[in-house]
Structure 1
């Protein structure tokens, strides 16, 4: 190795003489600004460091330690390796240790133990001299660390046997590097032919002779105390072990490079002049350097000899591994080469385990799929593995990213996949119960409608108010039928049906019931003011009122359609569970909770209003126009919907929200319809089917007469508390006489054109009016009830109550 200080001295003295080195590999000599006249036929250690880094990378080792002998060679080589590894990334240095020039006893044991502190960094990059290498191996052997460390040696180790003598097992598997070279056979022939007589010009040859043959040349020999005297007839290679020095090729190439440069310079400068021309007498160093850098020839080993702009030879290395074969003999085996790029025969590798599987030298084990690396600060090759949680997937080696809202991580969390889309299936338990109740309700409603149609003219059907009954039964039927669009797979048609019929069934039912209770209330309220019938109580008027109320619901639906046309969407938030595996997108109609409240709100308003009227009419006679059954129906319906609200809106955060809300809504509608059907119509159907003897007419009365009687009853009750009994009866009888006279006048005007049947009906009405009058006005009817009453005041009240009961009996059969 050329001493860098000597080169620097020449530069300082400004001696511009080109130099060609055959062994110097120090990286700083590549600095052309400082050592511009320096060239070499061996590659610098920077190439060697790059080749060693490529080897480490190919082995999959990313956590290594470095070990250097103190001095220019070792420290420069490690520095080059560290710098290149830092620039390229991927390899981290666990420790950088230095072997002192004059190590103290136990120094190598301390170094080995320090290397063991980072036990994961099994690979050790060594830029050390032969003696240091041998002593490190010996220390590792003493500490029973055979097979633990993975040695990567520089060209100072190369394929030499001296560092591994008696350390074969601990050195097994070591990977070493050596500039590519070949043995020069011509030199072997020449050197083996040298003797003391034909090589006198080499002043060091005599010393070599003594050293090589272990003898002493005369009195002035260089080996004092040697018992053997050299004869001079010894022969190199015959009487001693001979191995060609590895640098012979580079020495010859350096000489030839200078010769080729001078020869080319002579041709260019002297132009055919024989011998040394005057112009070459004073050679300009810069001009000679240009010719040196331009040479290109095949060297002594057959490899090209060239220089780059910095005077460096191209990097060409052979890669060896120290292996022990089956016969327990150790040898260096070529496993690859490096010429700007690495070629490594991985199948030729052999380790202490006896197989070709690569040992590990890593700080952290590779993360599994779906895990990201969280790098330890300052040590990029060491990390902790963190799993990508929730809806995150492994985007890169170091990052997790959130999947789009409609997607979830795949099984390995290396990408995203669409979240499955679900809907309420017909076979689901959440659908089977509502459908079962709905089917039973539809069958029951159909049976009631058929029964009412068949017995259309019977007293019970007529007394129920046929027109309003059919409206109410239509609403009940719609409440049952809405179950099917609510469970069907959402599409444009289904969503449209949901919007239309969601609140329409309840609206039909509640509007009909409200109209009925309102009529009853107005009839009895009117009786408190006058003995006349209130307005708009005929069946036609009731139908107009009912459909007016229903039209408000239909108008709201039309506005809803215009403002927000129906469509479907997929709700990924409803079943977005913490575990993405259970996440589902729910196919829905665009009916929000607010829209649902608005759709059902009007029907609920009608229900509440109807309930208020039912409470107000709770005191009417028991059999009057279904007042009490309607009241019980409304009370029960209110309880159902009061239970519906917390169940429906209390499941907003549930993973099964769709199922619970759909089932709750449909069952609530079906139960409301069932209550109305059971309380209002099932008793009537029972009488019609099983007790037809009770479904016969008793008397025929005009609607006006009945209403008049009802208003009179209410009036009578009001006056009872204000006037004596006789005055009440007198006033009441006078009112009835006036009413009867008006009815008689009307009959006389129409007498010429009425039919016989109509005449009979009118006659019955007149008879009934007389009987009503007698019943109300006869002192007997009052006294018969009041004979046993001790107080006169109570007698008056009891007589009025008896009169009221008699009138209500007539009202029940007609209304």
Structure 2
């Protein structure tokens, strides 16, 4: 309990420095971690690195202070990062232009990649000794900023603790997008890009390479969950399906690892995306290699794509591709790394552990081993003079300085912020009301504003700054693991670049010299179902992802050319038989060249020939009593109108045009009006002729030839007026009928004005009905002088044809509408020709003895 109270008192003194208050103990407290590497300075930067990858459980009895932390699995990359921080701080201290007359110190901690130990480290930082001023007052702590941590989960935990003390942290490798939330992490900054950029970049790379069926692996922490979640969402938006989602436990059992590998082996996905660190993916890869699971293309996250441990241990992972943070070549660093000495000051326990492991020797026990949990004692004694440059390890490999470069950015960003703060203090002659912070008595929260304002270009030409979320620019190298003909190990080859600051269509740049998992240059295929052939569309399977589908032929009128859906063809086009494109629709109209059109044309020509034959017979026998008795002038005019009717039928054949459509309709109306006018006049002549034989009836003088001609003219002229009105106001015009049939276009003539067309038809109907009534009334007059009976039959046929025409016309589709109309014209024309003229021609040709005046008069008298 006294220890807890003492710690509480110390934390209160950190939060609320007591100037003039009773003195508290400013003596050096024992660090919670005795394995810390430290060097004093006027300003101390704390660094947190996972120098070991695993921790060892310790029993806590709460009766005594916890012992020294015990970890295992020395991480050589992290050891290089920690030594690089020392190197960078030494560079800054030697630079007269950066923080002049200010010496930076450091305290480097080992977090052992565990949350509990990271929390313990953070508490070690905030409980560092405070300085006593010249007046005896205890001042602020000497650590205003922390460089770290490497893991997202560790950084999240530490940041929440440091928020209580307003201590900023600049991470070099915590990429979780959740850390961009300034409400939760207001004092967090980082030099590694946020995973939101990486998730988008990975998804776009997969889409660019044509993969639509991938597996997703992630670690059981914030980094794994957030990165895989964002990447899955982006993949779904781009139309890529995730076959499975595996979470890799932090401390997996053998059964769990075997289950993960079995899922990978059983899945049809050939592309595997993995967001994990090298320590967490390594057991899975070991089992993959042991079970000889091949044919898989790995897409690595930035956490392990440049892992020398993975590339050297598992050369079968050739072809692995992924996004790596930007790299740099740092002059002098390798030499500094080679100068590491296991027993030099300041003492570095991890250096001793590295030395003993690397050179298979043991030191005497004059120095504590520190955090090493399971030290191995070798028979050979270490001299300390062994040469690191003679070894090749991840520690002294400076070919892929990516995370190390981020450490450089973080340390120099902190130095730039301190430099700007120091310059403000030195130039305090400004008119600002707020005094500048005192760098010798610096409160951690005073660093925050200066970190936000950091914006400089480093010696490598890169601009370093933090945006409003505390993030840096989203820039990655696309790295591919390749092996040459004589290479035994894999090489990291840059094959592309991603830069989020560029326009969307220029952000992803990919070269063609990529080696894939099978050693070939051909991009592997990873799809749940092969792409549908042209002319087919995707039909999703019930209960399965969208990428698993069946291929169904496109419907008529639609097409598909390697698309997921069928596209409707434009109105004037139709799908090809293969449904892979649209072709021009078949144009349909009643043509002379097709069989049906030729038959109708032949009938029309036959009618013309028959009419002209009858006309020639009548003309040759025009002086005979039979021709003279039947009003030869009206007969010839009727024959002319019938010829025009048969000619009119021919105008309905062929393609409708802007000239053919008006000609068809008006020719039909005028010729039939002339024909019926002639028949009406002949009927009236018959009636009046026999009425004139009655005593005292002189009506015949009103129906002489001049009056007959006038009657025909007037009846035809009225129809002509209607047609002229029709042509001038709303004439017929050609249209493309695309609604009747889906697969073809019917060319037809629109009526223009339906009302005027109805007037034309109605007028013809009135003439026909009136003529029929008069002929019916005159049917019993003497046969030899009477044409009324034949006119009655012809009008009966005429009316029957056109009454039948109406339903047939309405119900006939397309070009058959025109055929029905032509047939009605021909049928009515032949009806008049046969009923009226054929009997007379028969008498003229075959029974000439009846074509005499005596015979005709005798028949009349007999009656």
Give the whole-Å Cα distance in 1 for the aligned partners of 2:291 and 2:691: 111
- Number of residue pairs aligned between Structure 1 and Structure 2: 679
- 1:193-219 C-alpha deviation (Å, 9 max, x unpaired): 333465563343222210121211135
Change (3 A) 1:483 1:237: same
User: Who is 1:177 aligned against?
Assistant: 323
Deviation at 1:422? 5.9
Within a 5 Å distance, the mapping from 1:364-403 to structure 2 comes to: 389=555
CA distance in 1, matches of 2:198, 2:557: 47
Query: Counterparts in 2 of 1:643-654, with a 5 A limit?
Result: 645-646=803-804, 649-650=807-808, 652-654=811-813
* 1:99 and 2:248 matched: yes
Q: CA deviation at 1:347?
A: 0.9
- Are 1:507 and 2:676 counterparts? yes
Match of 1:459 in 2: 625
Q: CA deviation at 1:126?
A: 1.1
For residues 28-67 of structure 1, the aligned pairs below 5 Å read 28-67=178-217
Q: Which residue of 1 aligns with 2:446?
A: 287
**Matched position secondary structure for 2:515:** coil
CA contact 2:537–2:551 (8 Å) conserved in 1? yes
User: Structure 2 CA distance, aligned partners of 1:377 and 1:554?
Assistant: 76
Determine the structure 1 residue equivalent to 2:299.
152
State the shift of 1:165 in Å. Answer: 5.3
- Where 2:196 maps in the other structure, the secondary structure is helix
Q: For residues 602 and 584 of structure 1, what CA distance do their matches in structure 2 show? A: 32
User: 1:567 and 2:712 equivalent?
Assistant: no
Match of 2:276 among 115, 125, 128: 128
Which of 555, 570, 575 is 2:718 aligned to? 555
Instruction: Report if aligned partners of 2:298, 2:321 keep a CA contact under 8 Å in 1.
Output: yes
Shift of 1:258: 2.8
Contact 1:553 1:602 in 2 (8 A): no
CA RMSD of aligned residues (A): 4.5
The answer as to 2:492 corresponding to 1:336 is no
Aligned residue in 2 for 1:782: none
Describe the superposition over 1:665-685 as per-residue Cα deviations: whole angstroms up to 9, x where unpaired: 232133124304642431354
Instruction: After TM superposition, list the pairs within 5 Å mapping 1:666-815 onto structure 2.
Output: 666-676=825-835, 678-686=837-845, 808=859, 810=861
Distance in 2, matches of 1:482 and 1:508, equals 17
Deviation of the 1:238 alpha carbon: 1.5
Residue 766 of structure 2 is matched in structure 1 by 602
Deviation at 1:507, TM superposition (A): 0.3
1:104 deviates by 3.0
Secondary structure of 1:106's partner?
helix
Consecutive unaligned residues of structure 1, counting only runs of 5 or more, are 707-806
Q: 1:281 to 1:588 in 2, by over 3 A?
A: closer
Instruction: State the alpha-carbon separation in 2 of the partners of residues 613 and 125 from structure 1.
Output: 99
Q: Which among 351, 360, 368 is matched to residue 214 of structure 1?
A: 360
Contact 1:257/1:292, CA 8 A, preserved across alignment: yes
Alignment of 1:180-195 (within 5 A): 180-195=326-341
Query: Who is 1:235 aligned against?
Result: 387
Specify every segment of 5 or more residues in structure 2 that has no aligned partner in the other structure, as ranges: 1-147, 370-374, 430-435
- Given candidates 482, 499, 509, the residue that maps to 2:648 is 482
Q: How many Å separate the matches in 2 of 1:124 and 1:417?
A: 43
Alpha-carbon distance, 1:435 to partner: 4.0
Q: Decide which moves more: 226-235 or 514-523.
A: 514-523
Aligned residue number for residue 424 of structure 2? 268
Q: Secondary structure at the match of 2:492?
A: strand
Between 1:386-395 and 1:89-98, the stretch displaced more is: 386-395
Distance 1:304 1:601 in 2: 93
Aligned counterparts of 1:155 and 1:398: Cα–Cα separation in 2 = 36
For 1:140 and 1:570, how far apart are their aligned partners in 2? 73
Distance 1:72 1:512 in 2: 105
1:163-193 Cα offsets, whole Å, 9 max, x none, are 3556444x33321222112343412112223
- Bigger helix fraction: 1
- For the pair 1:540 / 2:703, whether they are aligned, the reply is yes
Helix, strand or coil at the partner of 1:97: strand
Residue 515 of structure 1 deviates from its aligned partner by 3.0
- Choose 1 or 2 for highest CA Rg: 1
CA distance in structure 1 between the aligned counterparts of 2:603 and 2:522, rounded to whole angstroms: 70
Write the distance in 1 (CA, Å) between the matches of 2:683 and 2:497. 100
For the 8 Å contact 1:262–1:291, the answer to whether it is kept is: yes
**1:516–1:571 distance in 2 versus 1, CA, 3 Å:** same
For residues 241 and 607 of structure 2, the distance between their equivalents in structure 1, rounded to whole angstroms, comes to: 78
Change (3 A) 1:663 1:143: farther
Q: Secondary structure at the match of 1:348?
A: coil
Q: Which moved more, 1:331-340 or 1:584-593?
A: 584-593
Aligned match of 1:741: none
Q: Distance in 2 between matches of 1:31 and 1:566?
A: 72
**Corresponding position of 2:482:** 323
1:635 to 780, 793, 798: 793
Secondary structure of the 1:188 match is helix
Indicate conservation of the 8 Å contact 1:173/1:352, yes or no.
yes
TM superposition shift of 1:498: 2.0
CA distance in 1, matches of 2:715, 2:162: 110
Q: Say whether 1:347 aligns with 2:512.
A: yes
Secondary structure in 1 matching 2:390: coil
Q: Which residue of 2 aligns with 1:78?
A: 228
What's the TM-score once normalised by structure 2's chain length? 0.67
Per-residue CA distance 1:79-119 (angstroms, 9 max, x = gap)? 44346667x65555444321122323332333344456763
Cα separation, 1, equivalents of 2:793 and 2:176: 102
- Alpha-carbon separation, structure 2, partners of 1:150 and 1:244: 26
Distance change >3 Å, CA 444–CA 63, structure 1 → 2: closer
CA distance in 1, matches of 2:799, 2:291: 84
Residue 510 and residue 113 in structure 1: after superposition, are their counterparts in 2 closer, same or farther (change >3 A)?
farther
1:431-461 CA distance string (max 9 Å, x none): 4444444444444544544554555444343
Residue-by-residue CA offset, 1:257-308 (whole Å, 9 max, x unaligned): 33333333223213499xxx99433213343333334344555756443333
Q: How many Å apart are 1:321 and its aligned residue?
A: 1.6
Distance 1:590 1:178, change over 3 A: closer
1:691-745 per-residue CA deviation (whole Å, 9 max, x = no partner) reads 5x8766659x9xxxx7xxxxxxxxxxxxxxxxxxxxxxxxxxxxxxxxxxxxxxx
Structure 1 residues 288 and 141, CA gap change in structure 2 (3 angstroms)? closer
Cα–Cα, structure 1 residues 577 and 17, in superposed 2: closer, same or farther, change >3 Å? same
Q: 1:392 to 1:83 in 2, by over 3 A?
A: closer
Residues 423 and 287 from structure 1, CA distance in 2 versus in 1: closer, same or farther, beyond 3 angstroms?
A: same
Q: In 1, distance between residues paired with 2:768 and 2:687?
A: 17
- Between the aligned partners of 1:393 and 1:239, the Cα distance in structure 2 is 64
Q: In 1, distance between residues paired with 2:437 and 2:613?
A: 136
CA distance in 2, matches of 1:178, 1:403: 48
SS of 1:75's partner is helix
Match of 1:162 in 2: 309
Structure 2 match to 1:665: 824
The secondary structure found in structure 2 opposite 1:25 is: coil
Kept after mapping to 1: 8 A contact 2:844/2:851 = no
2: distance between equivalents of 1:538 and 1:641? 31
Farther-moved stretch of structure 1 (202-211 vs 192-201): 192-201
> Are 1:473 and 2:639 matched, yes or no?
yes
What is the Cα deviation at residue 336 of structure 1? 1.2
Partner of 1:734: none
SS in 2 for 1:583: strand
CA distance in 1, matches of 2:771, 2:853: 33
The 8 Å contact of residues 478 and 504 in structure 1, kept in 2 or not, is answered as no
What is the alpha-carbon distance in structure 2 between the residues aligned to residue 437 and residue 455 of structure 1? Answer: 27
Distance 2:215 2:274 in 1: 9
Match of 1:201 among 317, 338, 347: 347
What is the TM-score of this pair, normalised by structure 1?
Answer: 0.70
Instruction: Tell me whether 1:310 sits opposite 2:469 in the alignment.
Output: yes
